[in-house]
């Protein structure tokens, strides 16, 4: 089975990565169901949210097993592996790293045993902004963590496990209010599935119903693929617990909704619904608004597949310009394991997209894309279309200029690298080589979501961060890799119960923590 390399397909030049997605989380409580397979297919539906690593934790009531590796969901798991993951309860994660590098140790779910005999596994979508502060707390309390792990998720798991005199549910109600930043968690012990969402609800999380159980997932599309019916969104500031006694809801913070606006632009699947609004419909409406705000005389509207397609449909419908295909995407470009040679690297985007020369030759083209970050992709596309014979290339973008980095779960470029940060509209147009350039207005984008502006996080567009940020040296993807953690190695060996990666050259391993060896069971609040 091929190993994952932690490199996304758009990273054809490692020095110029594009915007990376948030992670995807999934959880299922379903006695009598094949919970590992349900989780596998749920993660498969969420693969677009993270392509570096994947993992599943499962419990049969007596112990928790975690199986994870770098790579895509279909590369990490196969039939024999899934068949070995038996139980009534599972969580899963597909990762793009926003805190901590792309290593096996940082793959999720994370797992930790408590001295009380409970095992906790946790998966996280989002990014905390008080990670350095949490790392100091973990060190001061001498809680065990794997020194090779540098993710905020591992710190949260350690803090939950560091309260052995409490049930997991009670520990969560104590720990969750101390976390600052964006988080949608699914986590579990031997008997209970938990889900929690930060008070701002930055990253999505939904609840679904199976005939014989419950599902939580990052997007409604993942509910659809496993045959679960949508019940509702997990509310900002809410903790859910699901076990044999049913579903319980607790509040750990007052809700202050600030859902991520970029989910509507790029991250979420078009067949997902967020806050009652279908994402595809929102993107079509954004395209219509683009046509109103930035009309142009042209012969054909084409999308940059696939993320620009709904907005291009909307632009064509509103403008009356013919919609057509001008760029063909390689359907198998999901991942490259072999690094391109320098010659191929210079071709760049052609490994993913190629122009339909017969369609664009001699025409004035409107090309619709979702966003411009560094401008490398748009520059290459404009060049390709001109080389294919396009007379004019008019670029339309279905989001406002990205001026600010995200600290809540999307790994954009640094502010210095953002093209819009240093150039005005005409400067960007010249930089990418377009005849004209038009961005949808922030007001137009917000209107298409059918959400009030006050309920949306717009920080990457307007710099208004709803969750206060720490000092610059206390935030960032690799913040923990520079934080010295005071961990007693002997205590870790004693308390860990075998949770860390076994000494093996094979990364594709299962971790088992058998709670039954020290009494098993779970205390309830």
- Among all chains, which residue has been given the structure tokens 């819009």? 420
- 466-495: burial string, b at 16+ Cβ within 10 Å, e else: bbeebeeebbbeebbeebeeebeeeebeeb
According to the model, what pLDDT value does residue 102 have? 59
DSSP state letter for 411: B
Q: How far is 207 from 247, CA to CA, in rounded Å? A: 11
Q: What is the pLDDT of residues 347-382, one digit of tens each?
A: 667 778 899 999 999 999 999 999 998 898 899 999
Bond preceding residue 109 cis, omega within 30 of 0: yes
The partner residues of 358 in beta bridges, in order of sequence, read none
Q: How far is 285 from 25, CA to CA, in rounded Å? A: 28
The partner residues of 185 in beta bridges, in order of sequence, read 124, 196
Nearest CA to 371 among 426, 418, 433? Answer: 418
Q: How far is 506 from 80, CA to CA, in rounded Å? A: 17
- CB hemisphere CA count around 293 (13 angstroms): 21
Q: Are 441 and 261 spatial neighbours (Cβ–Cβ below 8 Å)?
A: no
According to the model, what pLDDT value does residue 301 have? 98
The partner residues of 89 in beta bridges, in order of sequence, read 29, 59
According to the model, what pLDDT value does residue 239 have? 98
SS (H, E, C) 245-280: CEEEEEECCCCCCCEECHHHHHHCCCCCEECCEEHH
Q: How far is 130 from 133, CA to CA, in rounded Å? A: 5
Q: How far is 453 from 485, CA to CA, in rounded Å? A: 40
Taking residue 387's Cβ as centre, other Cβ atoms within 10 Å add up to: 11
Q: How far is 51 from 47, CA to CA, in rounded Å? A: 6
Q: How far is 270 from 254, CA to CA, in rounded Å? A: 30
Q: Is 289 left (phi over 0), alpha (psi -120 to 50) or beta?
A: alpha
Q: Are 181 and 130 spatial neighbours (Cβ–Cβ below 8 Å)?
A: yes
The partner residues of 127 in beta bridges, in order of sequence, read 182
Q: Are 402 and 439 spatial neighbours (Cβ–Cβ below 8 Å)?
A: no
Q: Are 518 and 117 spatial neighbours (Cβ–Cβ below 8 Å)?
A: yes
Q: Are 69 and 53 spatial neighbours (Cβ–Cβ below 8 Å)?
A: yes
SS (H, E, C) 184-203: EEEEECCCCEEEEECCCCCC
The enclosing H or E element of 512 equals strand 509-514
According to the model, what pLDDT value does residue 351 have? 77
Taking residue 504's Cβ as centre, other Cβ atoms within 10 Å add up to: 8
Tokens of 275: 């806050």
- Among all chains, which residue has been given the structure tokens 């490199």? 7
Of 23, 406, 457, 460, the catalytic one is 23
Q: How far is 302 from 394, CA to CA, in rounded Å? A: 10
- First CA to last CA distance, the chain: 44
Average pLDDT along the chain, 525 residues, taken 10 residues at a time: 34 41 88 96 94 93 93 93 96 73 76 87 94 91 75 90 91 97 96 98 97 97 97 98 97 97 95 97 98 98 95 98 94 54 66 92 98 90 96 98 92 81 94 98 98 97 94 55 41 37 30 32 24
* pTM (predicted TM-score): 0.85
According to the model, what pLDDT value does residue 416 have? 83
Taking residue 79's Cβ as centre, other Cβ atoms within 10 Å add up to: 9
Is 460 marked active-site? Answer: no
Phi and psi dihedrals of 470, rounded to 5?
-80, -175
Phi and psi dihedrals of 72, rounded to 5?
-75, 160
Strand ranges of the sheet holding 364-369, from the earlier edge strand across to the other edge = 300-303, 364-369, 392-397, 436-439
According to the model, what pLDDT value does residue 488 have? 40
């Amino acid at each position: 089975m091929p190993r994952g390399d932690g490199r996304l397909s758009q990273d054809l030049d490692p020095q110029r990565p594009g915007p990376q997605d948030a992670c995807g989380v999934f959880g299922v409580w379903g006695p009598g169901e094949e919970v590992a397979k349900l989780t596998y297919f749920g993660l498969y539906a969420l693969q677009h949210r993270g392509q570096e690593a994947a993992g599943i934790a499962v419990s049969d009531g007596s112990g928790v097993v975690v199986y994870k590796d770098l790579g895509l969901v279909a590369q990490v798991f196969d039939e024999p592996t899934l068949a070995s993951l038996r139980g009534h309860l599972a969580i899963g994660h597909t990762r793009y790293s926003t805190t901590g590098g792309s290593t096996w140790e940082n793959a999720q779910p994370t797992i930790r045993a408590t001295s009380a005999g409970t095992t906790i596994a946790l998966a996280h979508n989002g990014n905390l902004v008080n990670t350095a502060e949490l790392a100091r707390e973990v060190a001061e309390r001498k809680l065990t963590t794997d020194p090779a792990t540098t993710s905020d998720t591992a710190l949260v798991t350690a803090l939950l496990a560091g309260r052995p005199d409490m049930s997991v549910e009670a520990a969560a109600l104590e720990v969750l209010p101390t976390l600052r930043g964006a988080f949608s968690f699914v986590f579990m012990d031997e008997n209970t599935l938990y889900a929690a969402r930060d008070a701002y609800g930055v990253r999505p999380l939904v609840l679904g119903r199976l005939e014989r159980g419950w599902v939580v997932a990052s997007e409604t599309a993942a509910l659809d693929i496993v045959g679960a019916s949508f019940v509702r969104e997990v509310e900002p500031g809410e903790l859910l617990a699901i076990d044999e006694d049913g579903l319980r809801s607790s509040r750990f913070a007052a809700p202050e909704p600030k859902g991520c606006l970029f989910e509507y632009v790029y991250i979420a699947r078009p067949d997902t619904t967020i806050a009652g609004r279908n994402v595809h419909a929102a993107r079509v409406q954004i395209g219509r608004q683009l046509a109103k705000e930035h009309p142009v005389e042209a012969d054909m509207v084409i999308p940059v597949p696939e993320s620009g397609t709904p907005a291009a449909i909307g632009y064509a419908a509103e403008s009356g310009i013919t919609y057509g295909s001008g760029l063909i995407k390689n359907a198998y470009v999901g991942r490259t394991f072999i690094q391109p040679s320098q010659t191929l690297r210079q071709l760049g985007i052609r490994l993913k997209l190629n122009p339909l020369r017969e369609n664009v030759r001699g025409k004035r083209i409107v090309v619709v894309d979702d966003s411009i970050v560094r401008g490398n992709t748009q520059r290459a596309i404009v060049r390709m279309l001109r080389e294919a014979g396009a007379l004019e290339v008019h670029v339309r973008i279905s989001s406002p200029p990205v001026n600010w980095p995200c600290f809540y779960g999307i790994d954009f470029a640094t502010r210095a690298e953002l093209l819009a940060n240093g150039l005005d509209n005409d400067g960007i147009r010249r930089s990418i080589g377009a005849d004209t350039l038009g961005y949808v207005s922030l007001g137009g984008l917000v209107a298409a979501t059918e959400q009030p502006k006050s309920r949306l996080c717009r920080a990457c567009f307007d710099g208004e961060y709803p969750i206060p940020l720490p000092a610059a040296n206390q935030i960032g993807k690799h913040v923990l890799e520079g934080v010295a953690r005071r961990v007693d190695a002997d205590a870790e060996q004693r308390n860990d119960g075998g949770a860390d990666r076994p000494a093996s050259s094979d990364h594709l391993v299962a971790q088992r923590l058998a709670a039954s060896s020290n009494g098993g069971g779970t205390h309830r609040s």
